[in-house]
Amino acid sequence: MEADFVIVGAGSAGCAMAYRLSEAGASVLVIEHGGTDAGPFIQMPAALSYPMNMSRYDWGYQSEPEPHLDGRRLACPRGKVIGGSSSINGMVYVRGHAMDFDHWSEMGADGWSYADVLPYYKRMETWHDGGHGGDPTWRGTDGPLHVTRGPRSNPLFKAFVDAGQQAGYEVTGDYNGEKQEGFGPMEQTVYKGRRWSAANAYLRPALKRPNCDLVNGLASRVVMEEGRATGVEIIKGGKKQIIRARREVVLAASSINSPKLLMLSGIGAGAHLAEHGIDVVADRPSVGANLQDHLELYIQQAATQPITLYKHWNLISKGAIGAQWLFTKTGLGASNQFESAAFIRSQAGVQYPDIQYHFLPMAVRYDGQAAAEGHGFQAHVGPMRSKSRGAVTLRSNRAEDAPKILFNYMSHEDDWADFRTCIRLTREIFGQEAFAPFAGHEIQPGDALQSDDELNGFIKEHVESAYHPCGTCRMGRADDANAVVDPEGRVIGVDGLRVADSSIFPRITNGNLNAPSIMVGEKMSDHLLGRDALARANDAPWINPNWETAQR
């Protein structure tokens, strides 16, 4: 059991690396603890709330009691299945704003500015505009990852965009192109009616090659010999075995499991490792620190017309949608139902969007539990750049035990003001003329809640994770004491070991994290192969010319 490269985790970045490294002729072994992604619950886009809540596909992590949310423990699902979280996520495709990556570069991630990463976004995509406009020159035409748009046939999708325009906001035909700011169509990793996960896009084609294989097992530690990573120890059927890497070991196990594995392998804060009886190989206090996430609220409005998805919230209709999807891969089952979106700025003086909207023509909880009171629609809304930071730490020195995850949500005063702004701006959008034929009373938070204190109480009780954890193995310059990996993903202080997944993000990007995670896998593949990076792009993003003086 040995290969040139051993990758831990068959998730968004891991699958992309398996594809690119094996394509270049290197031998690759991918270690994945989860099993197959076969079956309708994962492959059918509209069934997205199921796999996320099935222990068969999810690590089942929860945060520690969050001190600023009255001790609530928030769910932190991570994919335990081939494809990783791209097999259980909401399939929303967002590259991130150009300025997010320029900020990475300023923080010491040299070579990760927008000009550097845009060519990798183009390389990974095959983009289908679906007749909804967009920026073809900014998009990819022949990559493994198919990106599409929903049909937007429900009139509420148009009402949302029209309402944004009536409220004075920008409209954009492609938030993944030149102009993120504004209201417009949402993009999804769905192709021919199926979830187009990293497993479908990258891993399946890679496994058809003779030099790429998948190994099932729980990675328990990186094997270190004289300061160099030489392999990975896995636990399989209660027995330990070692998978050897001739060239390098790459951790792509998520922003929760990658820092955990580093710590179990002796790389982390020395004192913390000593507490758990782990010998220190490299004292890197920032391993597991800098944990970030997006939080969101569901602002729900009752609908006065029976046009929402609520009419399908019964067994007969669900069965019919499921059957149509099973036999034809068409119909409501073939979309994640997030088909309109927006990115806006919270106030004048903010240079680029810091609020994201997902619009859904139904009022329902993300876990698919309680359909709200009949017909309704909702906007998922939240700030993009919270200043709160948490940490992932070890619970024990046993690989089988979940780590401790404390996001420290809402620990920064600005977060509360930001969320109150989100609620008030959303109410204003739902109050526009475009929604007049459809909007009834406000279900949640409800008209009674208006003051700062009332809204704070609602936020504390109802805010939920958008499931975008990242940042726990931060990328920076090799001489930066707070960095875990250098700009080529190499773990600082040891040889032959890299991290390549959302844990290396210096700061969270705008929007959902699947696209930037895959991009990291694509770009790191070139670093692993010792290739020159793709030529930088010259495209300049649209920045609102009045950002200093106007909120919209």
Residue type, 210: P
CA angle 250–75–58, rounded 5-degree value: 50
- The chain-wide mean pLDDT, for the chain, equals 96
Residues paired with residue 215 on neighbouring β-strands, in sequence order: 31
**pLDDT value of position 365:** 73
Cβ-in-10-Å burial (0-12, 13-18, 19+) of 524 comes to: buried
Residue 99 host element (H or E):
helix 98-106
Is the pLDDT assigned to residue 372 strictly greater than 80? no
Helices 114-124, 98-106: inter-axial angle, 10-degree rounding: 130
Whole-number Å distance between alpha carbons of 478 and 491: 9
The 3-state DSSP class for residue 49 equals coil
Q: Convert 111-161 into a string of H (helix), E (strand) and C (coil).
A: CCCHHHHHHHHHHHEEECCCCCCCCHHHCCECCCEEEEECCCCCHHHHHHH
How high is the pLDDT of residue 427? Answer: 98
Distance CA 376, CA 202 (A): 38
Whether pLDDT at 370 is above 60: no
Please tell me the distance from the alpha carbon of residue 306 to that of residue 68, in angstroms, as a whole number.
Answer: 39
The confidence score (pLDDT) of residue 398 equals 97
DSSP state of 81: B
Question: Which pLDDT score, from 0 to 100, does residue 131 have?
Answer: 72
Question: What's the longest Cα–Cα distance across the chain?
Answer: 70
Sign of CA dihedral 162, 163, 166, 169: negative
- DSSP symbol at 56: T
Binding-site residue numbers for FAD are 81, 89-92
Report the 10 Å Cβ neighbour count for 24.
15
* pLDDT tens, residue by residue, 38-82: 988 999 999 988 898 899 999 999 999 999 999 999 999 999 999
pLDDT classification of 371: cutoffs 50, 70, 90: low
Tens-digit pLDDT profile for residues 176-195? 999 999 999 999 999 999 99
Q: How far apart are CA 158 and CA 377, in angstroms?
A: 13
Q: What is the pLDDT of residue 129?
A: 85
Q: Where are the beta strands (DSSP E) in 287-349?
A: 295-303, 340-344
Assigned CATH class of 1-59+76-146+191-288+470-539: alpha beta
Instruction: Please state, for a pLDDT cut of 90, what percent of the chain lies above it.
Output: 94
Q: 482-535 pLDDT, tens per residue?
A: 999 999 999 999 999 999 999 999 999 999 999 999 999 999 999 999 999 999
Query: Which residues belong to CATH 3.50.50.60 in the chain?
Result: 1-59+76-146+191-288+470-539
Amino acid at 539: D
d(CA 47, CA 334): 9
Tens digit of pLDDT for each residue in 79-120? 999 999 999 999 999 999 999 999 999 999 999 999 999 999
What pLDDT was estimated at residue 40?
Answer: 87
Q: What is the pLDDT of residue 83?
A: 98
User: What is the pTM for the complete model shown?
Assistant: 0.98
Predicted confidence (pLDDT) at residue 164 exceeds the cutoff of 90: yes
pLDDT score for 366: 62
User: What is the CA angle 176-182-187, rounded to 5?
Assistant: 35
Name the band, by pLDDT with cuts 50, 70 and 90, for residue 369: low
* CA–CA distance, 161 with 351 (Å, rounded to integer): 22
The domain at 151-185+295-383+413-462 falls in which architecture? 2-Layer Sandwich (3.30)
Find the catalytic residue in 33, 312, 468, 527.
Answer: 468
As annotated, the residues of the chain forming the CATH 3.30.410.40 domain(s) are 151-185+295-383+413-462
| DSSP conformational letter for 429 | H
**pLDDT value at position 65?**
98
**Alpha-carbon distance 197 to 123, whole Å?**
16
Looking at the DSSP bridge assignments, the partners of residue 243 are: 232
Q: Is the pLDDT of residue 361 over 70?
A: yes
pLDDT of residue 364: 84
Q: Is 468 a catalytic residue?
A: yes
Nearest to 180 by CA among 350, 295, 337: 350
Whether the per-residue pLDDT at 213 is higher than 60: the answer is yes
What pLDDT digit, counting tens, does each position of 4-48 carry?
Answer: 999 999 999 999 999 999 999 999 999 999 999 998 899 999 998
